[in-house]
Structure 1
Amino acid sequence: MTARALDRSGVEQEVAQLPEVPAPRSVAPQDARAMSKVFFDRLAELEEGTHEYQDVRNTLIEMNMSLVRYAAGRFRSRGADEMEDIVQVGMIGLIKAIDRFEISREVEFTTFAVPYIVGEIKRFFRDTSWAVHVPRRLQEARVELARATEELRTRLGRTPTVKELAELMSLSEEEVIEARLASNAYRSSSLDAAINSDSEDGEAALANFIGAEDPALELVEDFQTLAPMIAELDERDRRIIHLRFVEELTQSQIGERLGCSQMHVSRLLSRALKKLREGMLSTR
C-alpha cells in the first residue's frame, strides 16, 4: 500500500470515529450545538474539496437547519407564501457561516451563525421586496419613516403631520414626502387580483377598475381643431369631403354627383386634404 493510500485510510478511519448521525436534520438543537463542536474540529483538519471534507460539511449543514427555521420565524408576518423562499435564503446564510466559522475563536457557532442567516434574509428583502426599484437612500428613508410614524402616533395619539415627522427625522418636509411616495413602490398587486365588487359574481379583477388611455380622446381633440378649418373651405370642397368620408362614396360616384370626371374629383380632394393636413400640422 502506498503512502498516499495509507494517508487516505487514516483519514477515513478518523472520519468514521466521528459521532454517528443517522438523521442530521432530526437532531435536537441542544444536541446539535454539542455535536457541531466535534465536527468543526474535524473539518479544520480535513483538506477542503475532498470527499471527507464535504461529508462533514454537509452533516454540519443538516444538523444546524434548526437555526434557519428559528431565524426565519422572525419573519412570519411576511406570509406563508414567502416562508419557503425565506428558509431557502436563510440556508445560504447558514452555509456562509459554516464556511467562515473558526473554532479557535471560542465563540458558540449559534452566536456566530444567526447574524449571518438573518443578514442574508434581510438582504433578500432589501433587494427583491420593492415592486419598483428606488434609490437605496429612499429605501432606508422608508424604514426610518415607518419607525418615526409609529413613535409619534404612540406619543401623540394621532397620525403625525409631515412637519412633525420632518422634525423628528431631521429631514426637510420635501424629503419626508418623497419617502412617503417611495413607500408606494414597496408592494404591488397583480392586475388579475380579485377584489370585492357590486357585480353579481361578487368579485372582479383589479384591471377592470383601472382606467386606461382612450385613443378616441385624441380624435376628439383632432375633430375640434379640424372643424373650423373645414368651415373655411369653399362649398364644393366641403361637399366632396362629406361625400367621400361621411357617405363613403368612391371618387367615381362623387364625379357623377357633381357632373365632373373622377380625375377632377381626385385633384380637388387632394388639394383640400393637403390644405387641412398643413393646418393640422401647424397647430401641433
Structure 2
Amino acid sequence: MKNVANATNYLDMDTKDLFRLYSKDKNREIRNVLIERHLYLVNLLAKKYINKGVDFEDIYQVASLALIYAIERYDIEKGFEFSSFATPTIVGEIKKYFRDKVWTLRVPRRVQELSKKISEAKVFLEQKNKKHPKVKDIADHIGCSEEDVLEAMEASYGYQPISLDSSSNDDSEDKDITLIDKIGQEENNFSNIENKDFVNKFMESLNELEVKIFKDRFFLDKTQSIIAKELEISQMTVSRLERKIIDKLKKEYEKNM
C-alpha cells in the first residue's frame, strides 16, 4: 500500500522536482513516471524514421531505450530543458541503429561513415544554396574526391536497395504507379492518417513564427542556429520558443490520449 501511495504522489509532482529526487536516490518508480511523461518525445522522433526499411516498433524500442539513457544522464542543475537534452540522445541512438544494423549488404565502415557525411552535406547544402547539390559540391564540402562520393552513394543502395515508393518503370500508361501499388497488402495506414491529422490540428494552434520553428526543427532537421539566422533573431529566442512549442505539443498529446 505504501508503494501505491508513493506512486500516486509522484504522479502529482512537478517534473523538475521528480528529476531532482531521482538524481538523489535513483528510485525506479520515479524513473517510470519520468519515462511515461516523455514517451511523447520518443513517439515524435521515432516517426521521423518511418518508411526507411525498418519496422516502426523496432525504431520505437531503440528510441525508448535512448530515453532511459537520457533520464539517467540528465542533470537538472545545469539548467537545460530535458527535451532539449534528450532529443540529440534519442536521434543519435536511432541513427546509430540504422548505421550498424540495417545495411542489407556488408559495406566497409569507412563507406558507411562517408555515406552519412554525404547525407548531412546534402541537407546542409540544399538549405544553404536552395538547390540540389552536385557531386562536386558535396565532395568539396566534405573534403574528399568525387570518386569517393560516387562510390559511397552507390554503396548506399545496400542500405535501402530500392524504395517501394519509386516508379515501377514499366510501359503502362500510368507512369505514377509505384512498386508498392503492385503489392497486395492489408490496409494499415489509418493510424498514419490520424497522426497526420493530429499534427495538422496542433499546428493550427501555433502562430506563424511557431509553425516555422516547429517544421524546421522536427521535419527539416535544421539547427537552432540556422533558424535564428534565417529569422534574424537570437538562438536563445529560438530555444525558448521551441520549449514553448514542445510544452504545447505535450499537453495536446496528453489531451488526445
TM-score norm. by structure 2 comes to 0.51
Cα gap change, 1:148 to 1:97, in 2 (>3 Å): closer
Q: Which amino acid aligns with 2:70?
A: A
Q: Distance in 1 between matches of 2:59 and 2:118?
A: 25
Name the SS of the counterpart of 1:107 in structure 2.
Answer: coil
Taking CA–CA contacts closer than 8 Å with sequence separation of 6 or more, which of the two structures ends up with the larger relative contact order? 2
Name the SS of the counterpart of 1:42 in structure 2.
Answer: helix
Name the SS of the counterpart of 2:110 in structure 1.
Answer: helix
Q: Does 1:140 align with 2:119?
A: no
Cα gap change, 1:135 to 1:56, in 2 (>3 Å): same
Q: CA deviation at 1:196?
A: 9.7
Q: CA RMSD in A?
A: 4.1
Q: What residue number does 1:129 align with?
A: 102
Q: Distance in 1 between matches of 2:11 and 2:139?
A: 60
Name the SS of the counterpart of 1:18 in structure 2.
Answer: helix
Q: CA deviation at 1:97?
A: 0.8
Q: Distance in 2 between matches of 1:64 and 1:175?
A: 41
Q: What residue number does 1:103 align with?
A: 76
Q: Distance in 1 between matches of 2:140 and 2:159?
A: 24
Q: Does 1:112 align with 2:91?
A: no
Q: Which amino acid aligns with 2:93?
A: E
Q: CA deviation at 1:35?
A: 2.5
State the structure with more CA Rg: 1
Q: What residue number does 2:19 align with?
A: 40
Q: What residue number does 1:69 align with?
A: 43
Q: CA deviation at 1:120?
A: 1.1
Q: Distance in 2 between matches of 1:13 and 1:43?
A: 18
Which one of 48, 53, 57 corresponds to residue 31 of structure 2? 57
Q: Which amino acid aligns with 1:108?
A: E
Contact kept, 8 Å, 1:134 with 1:182, in 2: the verdict is yes
Cα gap change, 1:60 to 1:158, in 2 (>3 Å): closer
Unaligned runs of at least 5 residues, structure 1: 1-10, 22-33, 190-194, 205-284
Q: Distance in 2 between matches of 1:16 and 1:180?
A: 51
Q: Which amino acid aligns with 1:38?
A: D
Q: CA deviation at 1:125?
A: 1.0
Q: What residue number does 2:63 align with?
A: 90
TM-score norm. by structure 1 comes to 0.47
Q: Which amino acid aligns with 1:65?
A: L
Q: Distance in 1 between matches of 2:122 and 2:20?
A: 49
Q: What residue number does 1:175 align with?
A: 148
- After superposition, the C-alpha distances for 1:246-279 in whole angstroms (9 at most, x for unaligned) are xxxxxxxxxxxxxxxxxxxxxxxxxxxxxxxxxx
Contact kept, 8 Å, 2:122 with 2:132, in 1: the verdict is no
Q: Which amino acid aligns with 2:144?
A: L
% identical equivalent positions: 36
Q: Which amino acid aligns with 1:127?
A: D
- After superposition, the C-alpha distances for 1:56-81 in whole angstroms (9 at most, x for unaligned) are 111111121111112223223437x6
Q: Distance in 2 between matches of 1:57 and 1:157?
A: 45
Contact kept, 8 Å, 2:67 with 2:86, in 1: the verdict is yes
